[in-house]
Amino acid sequence: MKKILTLSLLLIFSINSFSQSKEDCLSNLSIFAEYAKVKNYDAAYEPWLEVKSQCPKLNIAIYVYGERLLKSFIKKSEGNKRDEYQEDLLDLYDEWLKHFSKSKSGKNEMGKILAIKAQTMIDYKLADNETIYDVYDMAFTNDPQSFKSPKGLYNYFKIYFELYKENNSNVSLEKLFEKYEELTEKFEFEMEAYTSKLDLLLKKEENNDLISARELRNKKVYEVNMIACATYLNNLNAIIAKESTCENLIPLYRKNFDKFKSDTVWLNRAASRMDSKDCSDDPLFGEMVEALHQLNPSANSAYYLGLLNDKKGKTKLAINYYNESIKLETSDLKKAKTLYKIALKFKKSRQYSQSRSYALKALKFQPSMGSAYLLIGNLYASSANNCGTSQFEKRSIYWLAAKEAKKASAVDASVRRIARKTALSYEGRAPSKTDIFSEAMGGKIISIKCWIGKSIKVPSL
Residue spans per domain, the chain: 22-100, 128-238, 368-461
Burial of 57 per CB tally in 10 Å (0-12, 13-18, 19+): exposed
Query: Is residue 4 over pLDDT 50?
Result: no
> Computed from CA positions of residues 184, 190, 192, 198, in that sequence, does the dihedral angle turn out positive or negative?
negative
Predicted confidence (pLDDT) per residue in 363-421, tens digit:
999 999 999 999 999 999 999 999 988 999 999 999 999 999 999 999 998 899 999 99
Rounded Cα gap, residues 98 and 110, in angstroms: 9
Rounded Cα gap, residues 366 and 344, in angstroms: 16
Helices (H), 207-245: 213-241
* pLDDT computed for residue 67 by the predictor: 97
Question: Which H or E run contains 293?
Answer: helix 283-295
Half-sphere exposure of 411 (CA within 13 A, CB side): 27
Mean pLDDT on 126-130: 95
> Computed from CA positions of residues 147, 149, 153, 155, in that sequence, does the dihedral angle turn out positive or negative?
negative
Predicted confidence (pLDDT) per residue in 269-323, tens digit:
999 999 888 898 999 999 999 999 999 889 989 999 998 998 888 888 988 999 9
Rounded Cα gap, residues 370 and 405, in angstroms: 8
- Report yes or no: 77 and 86 within 8 Å, Cβ to Cβ: no
> Computed from CA positions of residues 144, 147, 148, 154, in that sequence, does the dihedral angle turn out positive or negative?
negative
pLDDT category of residue 20 using cuts at 50, 70 and 90 = low
- Report yes or no: 351 and 361 within 8 Å, Cβ to Cβ: no
- DSSP secondary structure letters along 77-129: --HHHHHHHHHHHHHHHHHHHHH-SB-TTS-B-HHHHHHHHHHHHHHTT-S-H
How big is the chain by its Cα radius of gyration, in Å? 29
User: Which range (3-17, 46-60, 79-93, 445-459) has the least confidence?
Assistant: 3-17
Query: Is residue 14 over pLDDT 70?
Result: no
Rounded Cα gap, residues 415 and 223, in angstroms: 10
